[in-house]
Structure 1
Amino acid sequence: MTTSELNLADIKKIKNGTIVTPLGFSTDGVHAGLRFEKKDFGVIVSEVPANCAAVYTLNSFQAAPLYVTKESVAVENKLQAVVVNSACANACTGEQGLKDAYTMRNTCAEKLNVAPHYVAVASTGVIGELLDMEKIINGINLLNPARSLQHAEAFQTAILTTDIVMKTACYETTIDGKIVTIGGTAKGSGMIHPNMATMLGFVTTDANISSDVLQEALCSITNVSFNQITVDGDTSTNDMVIVLANGMAENNTLTPDHSDWASFYEALRLTCEDLAKQVARDGEGATKLIEVNVSGATTHEAANIIAKQIVGSNLVKTAMYGADANWGRIICSVGYSGVTINPETVNVSIGDILMLQNSQPQSFNEEQAKAYLQRDVVIVNVDLQQGTESGKAWGCDLTYDYVKINASYRS
């Protein structure tokens, strides 16, 4: 069964669901003192070692936590905990930064009484500063993981930097007659232009699935979710998405040949897409989410490239902020995307308002268009009329506040 053949009624979004909604997961977030007042340190724990999958930034300057996490995962492709701090990225910090990341991992492992290689490490915040290890160790000692909404929100708060809101998503489906749940959380609002995944993302599931199959699914889903968002065109040094699958739902092992595989895959895709859109919507200073749909492409990859080019254009983003229906900026982005298109056949609409048909301008009501562009969610549709493939991307408008936030980030 393919995803298109799914009965979507089999997949449910869980209101108030979190990373601890799947069986066997607990979490906590505390104030370790890395920030002035807000929570800044957290952990996710599985009752048993969980099969895992991960994707990482392709930025050449990868932060110390990524090296340590990759080493942990490489031992057995299993994790039992992820420990995270905000306020300091521990990136470009040399041998001391790597030593500190190992200390963070090993101290957490001792606290939880698990093997060190079962612990992943993630950090986010200012680049080039060393961790305050006294505060890190203090944070580890303060952790008291539990399976509650309060503890989940504590973790979700602890990982934020310039984010305005927490990001969380949770879906469930039925596998072998058993309820399987997928929960996720993420942080990110600036330095968002992925080249694998983006920001920090953590997904938990009680599904029984091997690490290699989960890794393949995550890589595929990343390309149509996290990799299709952009805020400012910057790919961070610390980007990472980790999925933990502890098997406690006790379904038969999932593979692409399993009769319920499409249901699980779609639930995981929906969780990742939901989180990705929340990150795009919470872009630094953003006032609206922009979704770009490209259809009529010769390949899915071409459609994705064009969609992301449009949503990443600063000129498009500023026009969206100003509620200016300047379709010329959209068509310009299509033209320099690097994808071969027929410049005689392109249709462009904003919402339901047609502005370009067969590459010819169409008359439209400017006031109606302005009113539409003042909404919280703006949808741009581009039909290349060249093929049958389509793609999507998400981003946000570019505002004065984005400049203010980033001009004083370290202060």
Structure 2
Amino acid sequence: MSAEVAAPGGGRGHVLLAPDKFKGSLTAVEVVRHLAAGLRRACPPVEVRAFPVADGGEGTLDAALSAGFTRVPVRATGPTGAPVQTAFAYSSGVAVVELADACGQRRLPGGVADPLGASSYGAGEVIRAALGYGCREIVLGLGGSASTDGGTGLLRALGVRLLDDRGAELPPGGAALCRLDRIDVSGLHPAVRRTRFVLAGDVDNPLLGPAGAAAVYGPQKGATEADVVVLEAGLTRWAEVVAAACGTGAVAPAPAGSDDRQAAAGGLGLAGAPGAGAAGGVGFAALAFLGAVFRPGIALLLDLLGFPALLAGAGLVITGEGSLDAQSLRGKAPVGVASAAAAHGVPTVAVAGQVAVGPDDLRTVGIHRAYPLTDLEPDPAVCVAQAPRLLERLAGVVARDWLEPSGRPHRSPAR
């Protein structure tokens, strides 16, 4: 029979496991499972509660389902046209859609990239299914995209037509946008206007330029230098045509009650909005056509999925991700978890495959101490291959440092 662990201030509570995935090795759900096994082996009285997290990328759907949302299956189109089985997560009128699960890089057949032709159409199909389900709010996780199509595929799935100068519809992908002449929004799904759209992401890149979707993320999706030039030209043309459409009232207005100023902006100005370059430009399309609001993914999802309620009475939070580095400090999942925990007076430690930032930097973002797998096994390749076993051992080290035999946490780590 498990006992509770002590919370700060002398109360009793639990250890809350809130890690992100170890990319290329373990999902967040798997990280939780192995952490829990290691903690219970080292300190059987401990009470462990699970809250796998995500910041809008891969794992967002699983995080919502783990928090009690219902899975609603959807058959959608993968990034290069092959059908995939995906879903959205539903609760009380809110749908959580993970773009990566519908048309992200992990959905590329054989892992073969198509930087010029890949499309976000599948994400639009999942949104369309959620609209048909009667959802009044849709949260779209933007990470893990395989395309740089400016979000045009997503819009096509919702009824928007992209036409060349002869009135023919363009083929999928970002390269074709160079031939865009005009947009027809007359077929846009009518439920868009009465639905609130919230974008969850961890990047603030604009659509265009050296910090934009093509230049920064295109190479990660298989784009060569020449491909990046083509994609940048296509996205620039896309932004120009949207600017003209906004000026003539052709783009759908923001839903009633929207308080987001970005949604009222148009065209090239909107292309520079933070997050417009997210998911290969899906951020731009959603801001311009869906009246979406953009929020930091981890903070949004923690609140939406009920993380603050689980912090009540917790004695320790364990978060983590595959690589804890300078990018992590810019608001990725572990930092969001630590910030939320600190607001409730709960200490946070992190586990990771490797740690590339110093303890002082970690303390500034609320992480009291970090535990890398490389402390147990210096070869990163072995860490990836044997992550489950090593993570359970690492959990034992955390238990030794932070938990008494009774399961009560130390107010500060044992030395």
* TM-score, normalised by the number of residues in structure 2: 0.22
Larger helix share, 1 or 2: 2
* TM-score, normalised by the number of residues in structure 1: 0.23
Larger strand share, 1 or 2: 1
